[in-house]
Chains A and B, each alone.
Chain A
Amino acid sequence: MSLLGLSLRNILHKPLRTTLSLILFALGVGLIALLFLINSQLQEKFDKNLASIDLVIGAKGSPLQLILNSMYHIDAPTGNIPIQEAQAFLRPGHPLIETAIPLSIGDSYRAHRIVGTQPEILELYEARLAEGKMWESPMEVVVGAAAAANLDLKLGDTFNSSHGLIQDDDLIHSDAPLFKVTGILEPSGAVLDQLILTATPSVWLVHDHEEADEDHDHAAETDLAAMMQKPLHEFTDQSITSILIRFKGRNFQALNMQRNINENTNLQAATPAIEINRLYAMLGVGADALRTLAMVIVLVSGLSIFISLYASLKDRKYELALMRVMGASPAKIIALILTEGILMAVLGYLLGTGLSHLSMEVLGSRMKDAYQYSFTGFAWVQEEAWLLAGAIAIGFVAAIIPAIQAGKTDISTTLSEG
């Protein structure tokens, strides 16, 4: 019958007395752990998807919206930009630009975005094909790993896209040509996992088709091969949503380029790192408030552990005196009560973190659609170790006064009263 065993038995013996403390503690710890989990996973996803993109160019509007939409595929587009205006950035040989990836966003297939772009986007995100090949003509798509799994898409499968970014049966482009899966990507952990990639002209085809339905024959299809050959910046009558840009080097000129675009053109340029930091700062206030609330709950539960231990001393005075009679030293009695306090805190911690991982898993499956990332409840963060240390400390502090009180119990007086 070890000290730890006896403490555990004592805690479990009066479950009602400890339940409230445990639930409170679990709630507080769980909330903090959940915040850590969400924060670490969001931050990880955000950072991973920065993909060393230096600048995003798109239509005027909120720079944060432009970044969220173009890089994280969360928000709606700020609008479209005519290729004619963006020509300078798309044309090869720009002195400052190393890579420029055009994006056309606006259609989706069962809540997964279809993005018209160029094959180089794979290099930007360091993604690789798991099977199949890249698209060679319009209407061929390469599907991200998670999207393929969710939508049960395999090589050779075909589907109709739907207008807009949410699933809506009324908005399906049912008259447009079908998309066909030619490749599936390896999982990368980045946003590409959730996307359906295709050549930029595919998106135009879907929409041109509908506009041209009545007064145009289908001769366009014979031009498909030609469309793929023609460099994007020569489609002067078309538009795209945005351009992801990686600079050759971050020099003064490159920094100036953003200001230039914003001041002198109808386009908008935004720096991902700055916007994301702004987002963190905005979310941070809410997270801080929640964390403070959780801390208060943990402290209150610490207080309730203290009260429950202190109250239990009254009932157990005789038991403790009895243990002294049987040979236990005051130090042993103190250790017993301390162990009970710490054990309660650790049990609360285990319950709380268990709860937080479970809710992360449940929440994650819901957040997936909203954030275009998969979250998991089965990832651990380093902060949880600190949380355990904190829990043990709170258990210790809550138990120290009752423990000393118990150690000072006068055996003779107690037994005479008993």
Chain B
Amino acid sequence: MLETTSLRYAYPGQEVIAFPDLNFDKGQHGLILGQSGSGKTTLLHLLGGLLTPRQGAVTVNGVNISALPASRLDQFRGRNIGIIFQRAHFIGSLSVGENLILAQHLAGLKPDWDRVAELLGRLNLSHKIKSAPDQLSIGEQQRVAIARAIINHPSVILADEPTSALDDHNAMDVIHLLEEQAASVQATLLVVTHDSRLKNKFPLQIQL
């Protein structure tokens, strides 16, 4: 499902970072732990096709995304990979609902307001569908980001420090929702973090 082989990356003028080979099955949830500067975010960007590896390959759903041409890669990512960042960002000029519709549109899918309403309902955000994103609390924003990540039924969900900006209560809430929603679309969930609060939440852990 999600597989990497001898993945290496180097930022200009810096040392080459080598990553351990990963192999996750469909629907599997895993945690990648590491201190700041250990290349966690780099790995996540490589997995999401936001960076092109210097060496090695990332395979999602049997497709070697490292070898995809740029335009195909953008589309593939939009359809198959949902990404959640440390702090949720949105298109500020659009409402919460429209941000989700945009995620469908940009992935080349038909806008489906029923799906948007259903997702927001599951995340207890039905009443925020017309709100501007910056009117939401950080916890709410992160929940909308989860909705956006899973709206297109991706096969892989990548989360980069999804809880580090949240308090304990919200962090547990978000991680719980993340697992639940990933399971609902049977996606492989990979959380990259240095947040020790999450350590005992995931049986499958990889240390960088």
- Chain A residues with a Cβ under 8 A of chain B: 1-2, 6, 9-10, 12-14, 316, 318-319, 322-332, 411-412, 415-416, 418
B36 to chain A minimum Cβ distance, whole angstroms, is: 12
A6 in contact with B45 given A1-B105, A329-B70 (CB within 8 Å): no
Give the interface residue-count category, chain B: 20 to 34
* A327 vs B109: C-alpha distance when bound (angstroms): 11
A324 in contact with B74 given A6-B94, A412-B50 (CB within 8 Å): yes
The 8 Å CB contact of A327, one of B41, B91, B106, is B106
Q: Does B29 contact A (CB under 8 A)?
A: no
B84 to chain A minimum Cβ distance, whole angstroms, is: 10
When C-beta atoms are compared, the residue in chain B nearest to A322 turns out to be B89
A340 to chain B minimum Cβ distance, whole angstroms, is: 11
The 8 Å CB contact of B85, one of A2, A326, A418, is A418
Contacts of B50 in A (CB 8 A): 325, 411-412, 415
B105 to chain A minimum Cβ distance, whole angstroms, is: 5
Q: Is the CB of B94 within 8 A of A9?
A: yes
Question: By CB atoms of chain B within 10 A, which of A10, A14, A316, A328 has the most?
Answer: A328
Contacts of B93 in A (CB 8 A): 6, 9-10, 12-14
Q: Does B8 contact A (CB under 8 A)?
A: no
CB within 8 Å of A: which B10-47 residues:
41, 45
A321 to chain B minimum Cβ distance, whole angstroms, is: 8
Q: Is the CB of B91 within 8 A of A322?
A: yes
10 residue pairs A–B, Cβ–Cβ below 8 Å: A1-B105, A2-B105, A6-B102, A14-B93, A319-B92, A322-B91, A327-B103, A328-B106, A329-B75, A415-B45
Contacts of B71 in A (CB 8 A): 329, 331
Contacts of B79 in A (CB 8 A): 327
Of all A-B residue pairs in the complex, the 8 with the closest CB atoms, nearest first, are A327-B78, A13-B93, A9-B93, A327-B107, A327-B106, A326-B106, A412-B50, A412-B45
Fill in one digit per residue for B62-75: 1 if any A CB lies within 8 Å of its CB, else 0.
00000000110011
Contacts of B57 in A (CB 8 A): none
* A14 vs B98: C-alpha distance when bound (angstroms): 17
The 8 Å CB contact of B41, one of A13, A316, A329, A416, is A416
Q: Does B48 contact A (CB under 8 A)?
A: yes
The 8 Å CB contact of B91, one of A12, A14, A319, A324, is A319
Question: By CB atoms of chain B within 10 A, which of A1, A2, A324 has the most?
Answer: A1
Q: Does B153 contact A (CB under 8 A)?
A: no
A6 to chain B minimum Cβ distance, whole angstroms, is: 7
* A230 vs B78: C-alpha distance when bound (angstroms): 96
A325 to chain B minimum Cβ distance, whole angstroms, is: 6
B93 to chain A minimum Cβ distance, whole angstroms, is: 3
Fill in one digit per residue for B174-205: 1 if any A CB lies within 8 Å of its CB, else 0.
00000000000000000000000000000000
The 8 Å CB contact of A319, one of B41, B89, B101, is B89
Q: Is the CB of A327 within 8 A of B89?
A: no
The 8 Å CB contact of B83, one of A14, A325, A330, is A325
Q: Does B128 contact A (CB under 8 A)?
A: no
* A371 vs B21: C-alpha distance when bound (angstroms): 87
* A181 vs B138: C-alpha distance when bound (angstroms): 81
* A328 vs B106: C-alpha distance when bound (angstroms): 5
Q: Is the CB of B91 within 8 A of A6?
A: yes
* A82 vs B101: C-alpha distance when bound (angstroms): 86
Contacts of A319 in B (CB 8 A): 89-92
* A331 vs B70: C-alpha distance when bound (angstroms): 11
When C-beta atoms are compared, the residue in chain A nearest to B41 turns out to be A416
* A327 vs B93: C-alpha distance when bound (angstroms): 19
Q: Does B77 contact A (CB under 8 A)?
A: yes
Q: Is the CB of A326 within 8 A of B107?
A: yes
Q: Is the CB of A1 within 8 A of B78?
A: no
* A412 vs B45: C-alpha distance when bound (angstroms): 7
Contacts of B51 in A (CB 8 A): 412
When C-beta atoms are compared, the residue in chain A nearest to B101 turns out to be A1
Contacts of B106 in A (CB 8 A): 323, 326-328, 332
When C-beta atoms are compared, the residue in chain B nearest to A9 turns out to be B93
Contacts of A318 in B (CB 8 A): 89
Q: Is the CB of B45 within 8 A of A326?
A: no
The 8 Å CB contact of B77, one of A13, A325, A330, A418, is A325
Q: Is the CB of A327 within 8 A of B45?
A: no
Contacts of A1 in B (CB 8 A): 94, 98, 101-102, 105, 111
Q: Does B108 contact A (CB under 8 A)?
A: yes
When C-beta atoms are compared, the residue in chain A nearest to B46 turns out to be A412
B121 to chain A minimum Cβ distance, whole angstroms, is: 21
Q: Is the CB of A328 within 8 A of B85?
A: no
Question: By CB atoms of chain B within 10 A, which of A12, A326, A411, A416 has the most?
Answer: A326
* A2 vs B98: C-alpha distance when bound (angstroms): 11
